Chain A
Amino acid sequence: MSTAPQGAPATAPQGGPTLLTARGIDKHFGAVQALYKVDLDLPAGAVTCLCGDNGAGKSVMTRCISGIHAPDHGEICWMGEPVSIRTPRDASHLGIETVFQDLALADNLDIVQNMFLGREIVRRGFLDEDSMERAASKTLAELRVTSVRSIRQPVASLSGGQRQSVAVAKAVMWNSKLVILDEPTAALGVVQTRQVLDLVLRMRDNGLAVMVISHNLNDVFEVADRIAVLQLGRMVVQGPASDFDRQSLVDYMTTGTSSRRPAGSSDPDGAVS
């Protein structure tokens, strides 16, 4: 049932050097084993899509990386060095930012205030609104989030896609190297989904490692350089996106195996296209 990938590649098959390597991650909640010895590689300059059915452990895996849960066993290496990520602050210090599905924006605050929440620039005891506004608008411009006409509008007045853009901009502003997006398009319409996927590609082109969790196969094939599939807490396969088609991906997500793909190619090392 499980065809766990073997070995730890020095460089990932796609993109730049591997930024984050997780090996043998176990996590249980009470009697429920959420993750069994999960291995995951996240290379810089590539979009890795983490796929899986409901309850496959995608969110738990994400939380282990972003410092919300501590794994029971296993090792996470960051740029080759073993690290311990105990809190979201630890993750931020390494350069890991997570955009959660609920976005974690305060509706009553404006865009600048949300982007700097918890990391305000303070000068002589008072908020330095001018510097924060300049930095926020610079980041938004670099991500070409142009549809937001004023960055002083409250987040309550933004559309779903714009909110997602603000949450992403908040994540990339802090010199981050890995951005994790949990179901970024789940609540969005066609146009807004397009906006967010473009944003994902732009982050990749700027050299960031991006991990996207998604149910939506259209989105996955649109942006993924690499695909990793979890099923019932096990990593059943990971490799270049070109190794997968819709049918095989659905097979992996639902049964953990696919007859459409030669058994040998489930090893990510041998799967370079």
Chain B
Amino acid sequence: MARVDADPLSAEPSPAEPTAPADDPTAAVAAADLVVPPALVAQTLPEYARAWGARVRNGDAGVLPVVVGMVLIAVVFEAISPSHVFLSANNIVNLFQQSAVFMVLAMAQCFPLLLGEIDLSVGYVGPLAGIVTVQLVEPATTNWPWWAAIVVGLAVVGVWGFLQGTLITRLRIPSFIVTLAGFLIANGVCLIVLSFGPFSGYPPLAGTSSNVAVINHLMYGTIDPTISWIAMVVVVALLAVVLWLRDARRRASGLVAPPRGLTILKIVFIAIVGVVVVAICGINRAHFGTIEGVPWVIPIVLGVLGVWMILLERTRFGRYVYAIGGNAEAARRAGVGLAGVRTWCFVLCSMTAGLAGMLFFSYLGGASNNINGGQLTLYAVAAAVIGGTSLFGGRGRVLHGVLGGLVIGGIYNGMFLLGLAVEWEYIVTGLVLIVAVAIDSLSRRVR
């Protein structure tokens, strides 16, 4: 800050003064011809709403298309699914579990996509981490503690991502090619690692071992409803306090800040989502006995979302990711170490995909060679793009990946409920992807 305060311009402001009347008309003319996003000068909630409408018309739709898509999917499938089970508590929780892998993979894909790159390897690099972890916790062989197995699984794919990132940034090989090769190699490595031990290539997640149980619970474990409620209230209250204090401080010091009403609206929205989710999960969804409470996978996905949002939007690293995606040359001239930031993005992508791989095998109840890695990769890209992340770099948020993953999960789930064969799931998902990319390109053209 000292450097800014020592600005030479503040030292002698007087010599500039006499020219003031001369350039005022110029400034007025210039002000007339510029386009200010109205959201930034809006002071009240109605103004803000109008400004938001203007922004959407100008092609900056943000999460709007994906939210509309989600509502559409919910309404259509609820209307046509047999005995309207789509929005039943049982199915909603199920849908979230089915979508979780896509959501986490899409968040992983956000890192390369924000740079304007792509990582095609996630479809097998992710499962590779899962396979390593499942193998390590097997009581019949290594019997590692669950946490060590997870750490090693993530570390393995972290190194994998580092190697891919290094080839891309230091040797300047296009990410498309490097990660395509990585996809094939990881497929082979997955099969090799699967063949270890006495499991005939199918290390299971069954049995009484507590370490196996933890991995199995990543997807299916539930949190006691009472604890769920308490935890939800604490998290929502914390978010509310942080949001409110930040906006209030900015308003008080005259910085660009949303109107008070919008802050309240955001907090209310978060609280409603929290209550609805915990309430739905609190309903007993078992046909016999009791299955109730928030599944582990929900806090896991939200935790990843929160950490990556903070990293990308509140830290220097995240700022550089966006800057490189927007204008790599500008970032380079500003002294940003492009190679380092890019390599780290591929590491974080692989590690996030690795978590998705663990959730995947937790969902399947054990590791197997029944991995459709191509589909996982394509759904990861599709989910990120459907959510509103640009393929051209610099625009998008991890939140978009989560919403896009929910859309893909919704299609998958709804098609299944309708008893439609898998070919229709592919066709509909493909069409949704085309629509999403078309929205992205159209919005770029409007700009």
Is A156 part of the contact surface with B, judged by Cβ < 8 Å?
Answer: yes
Question: 1/0 contact trace for A142-163 toward B, CB 8 Å?
Answer: 1110111111111011110110
Contacts of B322 in A (CB 8 A): 106, 108-109, 113
Once bound together, how far apart are the Cα atoms of A156 and B392, in whole Å? 15
Chain A interface residue count, Cβ-Cβ cutoff 8 angstroms: 65
Question: Quick check: which of B103-111, B121-129, B193-201, B313-321 contacts chain A, the rest being far away?
Answer: B313-321
Within the complex, what minimum Cβ distance (angstroms) separates B150 from chain A? 25
Q: Pick from B8, B22, B37, B41: contact of A157, CB below 8 A.
A: B37
Known: A88-B333, A127-B319, A161-B30. A206 touches B36 (CB 8 A): no
Is B255 part of the contact surface with A, judged by Cβ < 8 Å?
Answer: yes
Known: A147-B27, A198-B23. A206 touches B11 (CB 8 A): yes
Contacts of A161 in B (CB 8 A): 30
Contacts of A205 in B (CB 8 A): 15-16, 19
| Chain A residue at smallest Cβ distance from B318 | A127
Contacts of B4 in A (CB 8 A): 135, 138-139, 173-175
DSSP majority for the B interface? helix
Contacts of B19 in A (CB 8 A): 198, 201-202, 205
Which residues of chain A (45-65) have a CB below 8 Å from chain B? none
Question: Is B336 within 8 A of A142, CB to CB?
Answer: no
Question: Is A134 within 8 A of B40, CB to CB?
Answer: no
Q: Pick from B6, B256, B315, B335: contact of A151, CB below 8 A.
A: B256
Is A181 part of the contact surface with B, judged by Cβ < 8 Å?
Answer: no
Is B171 part of the contact surface with A, judged by Cβ < 8 Å?
Answer: no
* Residue from B256, B330, B336 with most neighbouring chain A CB atoms (10 Å): B330
Question: Is B8 within 8 A of A177, CB to CB?
Answer: yes
Question: Is A156 within 8 A of B447, CB to CB?
Answer: yes
Known: A88-B333, A133-B255, A175-B6. A195 touches B26 (CB 8 A): yes
Contacts of B35 in A (CB 8 A): 157, 159
Contacts of A148 in B (CB 8 A): 34
Question: Is A106 within 8 A of B327, CB to CB?
Answer: yes
Once bound together, how far apart are the Cα atoms of A89 and B12, in whole Å? 27
Is A248 part of the contact surface with B, judged by Cβ < 8 Å?
Answer: no
Question: Is B323 within 8 A of A117, CB to CB?
Answer: yes
Question: Quick check: which of A3-11, A118-126, A218-226 contacts chain B, the rest being far away?
Answer: A118-126
25 A-B residue contacts at CB 8 Å? A89-B335, A102-B329, A106-B330, A107-B327, A108-B326, A108-B394, A109-B322, A120-B319, A122-B315, A126-B310, A127-B315, A142-B10, A142-B13, A144-B20, A147-B30, A147-B31, A154-B37, A172-B7, A191-B30, A195-B26, A198-B26, A201-B19, A205-B16, A205-B19, A208-B8
Known: A105-B330, A176-B8, A191-B29. 5 other contacts (CB 8 A): A139-B7, A144-B23, A175-B7, A198-B19, A202-B16
Nearest 8 CB-CB pairs, A to B?
A118-B334, A106-B326, A150-B40, A108-B326, A104-B330, A108-B394, A205-B15, A152-B256
